Amino acid sequence: MSRQRQPATQKLLPLRLHGGSRKGAGRKPKNGKAGVGHRERPVLASRFPAHVTMKLQQGLPRLRSKSEYTALRAAFLAACDRNGFRLTHYAVLNDHLHFLVEARDRATLSRGLQGLAIRIARALNRLWRRRGKVFADRYHDRILKTPREVRNALRYVLGNGKKHAAEGREVRVPQAIDTFTSAPWFDGFREPMTVRGIAAIPRPVTDAHTWLLTIGWRRHGKLSVHDLPATA
């Protein structure tokens, strides 16, 4: 009798594909440090201000010097109140910037910050006689929804330089307030404060419109020039 031929069976081999979830996958951080995530940003309502941080590329000159600060103030002044976007407070550190801003919605905030960043980059590159990228990554923002959060953010932004100085982080603040911030134009300190020569400098910020940044935060008391912010 002839043997019946057995049907051939095909062996299944593991299929290896590029991509997918695996160890080490994904975009690598720049300079070994993770940047701001690219997840969808939360919706912004017009009644809420936001705290924004922009960090510079490594290796650039420090921002806390007379020429750099003059260029920055001109950029702030040009972009502080445009098409529903308002820059109300700021702090200039050696390698990053803090802003308290208001906007009609998320799209308005994005456009306003993009315009601000472009003006800053152009002003600094012109001063430094260079071309190329100025900011290291996307901006980071945090929406502020309560009077307490807004007061803490004001204290953090206006006092951040003094905090760095107290920690010995190559920042000097010899005055009672940090003049590399919008503090000279701030009316929310308990102590009376006058900065010599401030009248001759165009105010580089605009008035806040939100209840939280105008009235709400004051429910927890005005700030003191002696306050040092807690770690963010």
pLDDT digits (tens, 9 = 90+) for 51-85: 999 999 999 999 999 999 999 999 999 999 999 99
Residue 56 phi, psi dihedral angles, 5° rounding = -80, 160
pLDDT reading at 109 higher than 50: yes
Is pLDDT larger for residue 182 or for residue 26? 182
Judged against a pLDDT cut of 80, whether residue 155 lies above it is answered with: yes
| Residues 228, 166 contacting (CB under 8 angstroms) | yes
Tally Cβ neighbours within 10 Å of residue 45: 13
Residue 120 has pLDDT above 60, yes or no: yes
Residue 18 has pLDDT above 90, yes or no: no
- 214 three-state secondary structure: helix
pLDDT of residue 58: 93
Fold observed for domain 50-220: Alpha-Beta Plaits (3.30.70)
Distance between CA atoms of residues 111 and 80, nearest Å: 12
Packing angle of the helix pair 106-128, 66-79 (nearest 10 deg): 150
Q: How far, in Å, CA of 193 to CA of 167, rounded?
A: 25
Q: What's this model's pTM, rounded to 2 decimal places?
A: 0.81
pLDDT at 35 over 90: no
Residue partners of 106: CB distance under 8 A and separation at least 6: 41, 42, 43, 44
Residue from 224, 230, 208, 232 nearest 89 by CA: 208
User: Region 140-146: what's the mean pLDDT?
Assistant: 97
CA 1 to chain centre: 86
pLDDT at 166: 74
Q: How confident is the model at residue 19 (pLDDT cuts 50, 70, 90)?
A: very low
* Residue boundaries of the structural domains of the chain: 50-220
pLDDT in tens, 192-218: 988 889 999 999 999 999 999 999 999
User: Across residues 121-139, what is the average pLDDT?
Assistant: 95
Per cent of the chain over pLDDT 70 is: 81
Rounded to whole angstroms, the Cα distance separating 157 from 160 reads 5
Q: Which of 165, 195, 206 is nearest to 76 (CA)?
A: 206
Q: How confident is the model at residue 42 (pLDDT cuts 50, 70, 90)?
A: confident
Token pair in block for residue 85: 């976007």
Average pLDDT over residues 5-16: 50
- Checking if the pLDDT of 123 tops 50, the result is yes
Question: How much is the CA Rg of the chain, to the nearest whole Å?
Answer: 25
- Given a cut of 50, whether residue 21 has pLDDT beyond it is no
